[in-house]
A = this chain, B = another copy of it.
Amino acid sequence: MRPPGPQARVRLVDVAAHAGVSMKTVSNVVHDNPHVSPAMRARVERSIDELGYRPNLTARRLATGRTGMLALALPEMDQPYYAELARHVAEAAPEFGYRVLMEQTLLSADDEHAAIGSSQNGVVDGILLHPVRLTPEEIGALPRDLPLVLLGESAPPAADHVMIDNVAAARAVIQHLVDAGRRRIAFLGTVVDQLSDATAPRLQGYHEGLDDLGTPQADRCVLVCADYSVEASEAALSRALADGLQIDAVMCREDRFAVGALRALLRAGRRVPEDVAVVGWDDTEPARWSHPQLSSVAPDKRALARAALRLLHERIMGYQGAGRHVLVPHRLVVRASSQPAGDGGDAVDRRTSSRG
C-alpha cells in the first residue's frame, strides 16, 4: 500500500481555462478583490462551481509565506483547565484569521522544544505556549523574531505573556475566608517535584494576606503534595489532620487539590463548610460536580484566550517591541464549600477585578 498519486484536482489554471480568462482574474474573484466587473465575476464563479474548484492552501502558503495557523502548546489536553482554555482559543482564533494546531507537551521539556520548533519550520505562523519545563532563561534565549506568547506564570521579561494577578487573587481568597469568620487557614499545596508553575505567587498572596491580618506563623500551614493528583492532595491533608492539624479553612492551589481536600475532610469527619471551608482555583466546570460545590478563583479564560491571540497576532504582523505582560480579570466565585456556617445561600460573585 502506498500513497495514491496526486489526485486530479481542479486547479486555478483549470478554472481560468474553463472561464476563458487569466489566472489573475480567477485569483481576484477568489479573493474578492475589486477591479473585477460583475459580469466577469459571475462567469468565473460559475466555472468555479461547475468544476468544484477548491484552492490549494499549501500552495497559497508557499507563495505568501503565511500559514494562517498557530500552535497551542499545552501540557495536558484532558486537564479541565487546559481543556477549557483550548476551547476558548479554538473559539476565538477564527476571529483573528487562524486555525489552531494542538501541540500536547505532556510535561516534557523535549515536547515543549518541539512545539517551538514547529513554529520555526513554517508549520504555523506563531505559537501560544504554556511552559512548565522550559525555564525563563531558555525561553529568553529564543530568537526574538519568533512570534510567541506565553501563558502561565513562567516568563522572561522579553517575551509576551498573559496571566491573572495571582497574588491579588490569593489575597482576595484570604480576605473572603476571614470575612466568613475563618481564622486558621491552610495552603494546599506546594508540590515536591515543582514544575515552573503558578504555585509561588499564590503562596505569596496567601502569606501577604495573612501578614496584613497579623496572623502569626504558628497559625499558618503549607501542605506539600507528592504530585498534582487528587489522591496526593487527599493524602497530604489526611495525614496532616491525623497528625492533629487544627484548621477551619483550606485554600487550594487548584481545583483538583480542592477535590482531594473535600475527600480528606469527609473521611476525617469534618463538615464542609461548617467545620472547614474549602476554596479551589481555576473554576473548572467539573469542580462544580463536587459536593458541596466548590468556591474557586475564576480566571476570565475567555479574556485570557483573546488577549493572548491579540498579542500573538501583533507579533505575527511584525511587532518587534519589548515583551508585554498582560493581566486579565479574575473573580472569586463563592459557592457552598466556603459559605459561612449556617448560610446556605446560592453562589455569589466577589469581583476582585484587575486589568493590565
Output the least CB separation between A337 and chain B (Å). 12
Contacts of A56 in B (CB 8 A): 62, 121-122
Q: Does A39 count as interface, using CB distance less than 8 angstroms?
A: no
Identify A78's interface contact among B1, B57, B62, B83, CB under 8 A.
Answer: B83
Note all chain B residues with C-beta closer than 8 A to A319: 1
Any B CB within 8 A of the CB of A84: yes
Expressed in whole angstroms, the minimum distance between the Cβ of A27 and any Cβ of chain B is 15
Q: Given that A2-B317, A121-B56, A263-B291 are contacting pairs, would A77 and B67 also be in contact in the complex, using a CB cutoff of 8 Å?
A: no
Q: Return the contact of A316 from the options B3, B83, B103, B314 (Cβ within 8 A).
A: B3
What is the CA–CA distance of A290 and B263 in the complex, to the nearest angstrom? 10
Tell me if A289 and B230 are in contact (CB < 8 A): yes
CB of A25 closer than 8 Å to a CB of B: no
Docked pose: A23 CA to B88 CA in angstroms:
44
Does A76 count as interface, using CB distance less than 8 angstroms? yes
CB neighbours (8 Å) of A55 from chain B are 121
Contact assessment for A120 and B54 in the assembled complex, using a CB-CB cutoff below 8 Å: yes
The answer for the CA separation of A121 and B319 in the assembled complex, in Å, is 30
Q: How far is the CB of A92 from chain B (nearest CB, A)?
A: 11
Which B residue sits closest to A82, measured CB to CB?
Answer: B83
The A interface is mostly helix, strand or loop, or mixed, namely: mixed
- Does A287 have its Cβ within 8 Å of any Cβ on chain B? yes
CA distance A122 to B69 in the complex (A): 13
The answer to whether B3 touches A317 (Cβ under 8 A) is yes
User: Chain A: interface residue count, which band?
Assistant: 35 or more
User: Using an 8 Å CB-CB cutoff, how does the interface string of A79-115 with B read, 1 for contact, 0 for none?
Assistant: 1100110110011000000011111101000000000
A120-145 interface mask toward B, CB cutoff 8 Å, 1 = contact, 0 = none?
A: 11110000000000000000000001
Q: Contact mask A312-334 → B, CB, 8 Å, 1/0? A: 00101111000000000000000
Q: Provide the bound-state CA to CA distance between A7 and B145, in Å.
A: 9
Q: Is A149 an interface residue when CB atoms closer than 8 A count as contact? A: no
Interface flag for A58 (CB, 8 Å): yes
The listed residue (B7, B61, B77) touching A86 by CB distance below 8 A is B77
Given the contacts A54-B120, A318-B3, A104 and B91 also touching, CB distance less than 8 Å: yes
State whether A102 touches B86 (Cβ < 8 A): yes
Q: Does A4 count as interface, using CB distance less than 8 angstroms?
A: yes
A58 x B54 contact (CB < 8 A): no
**Given contacts A54-B120, A77-B77, A230-B288, could you give 20 more A-B pairs where the C-beta distance is less than 8 Å?**
A1-B314, A1-B317, A3-B316, A4-B145, A54-B117, A56-B122, A57-B121, A59-B122, A76-B87, A77-B83, A80-B286, A83-B83, A90-B104, A99-B118, A100-B102, A101-B101, A259-B289, A262-B291, A286-B289, A289-B289
Q: Can you give 13 A-B contacts (C-beta < 8 A)?
A: A3-B316, A4-B145, A4-B317, A54-B120, A54-B121, A54-B122, A56-B62, A77-B87, A78-B83, A78-B86, A83-B86, A266-B291, A290-B291
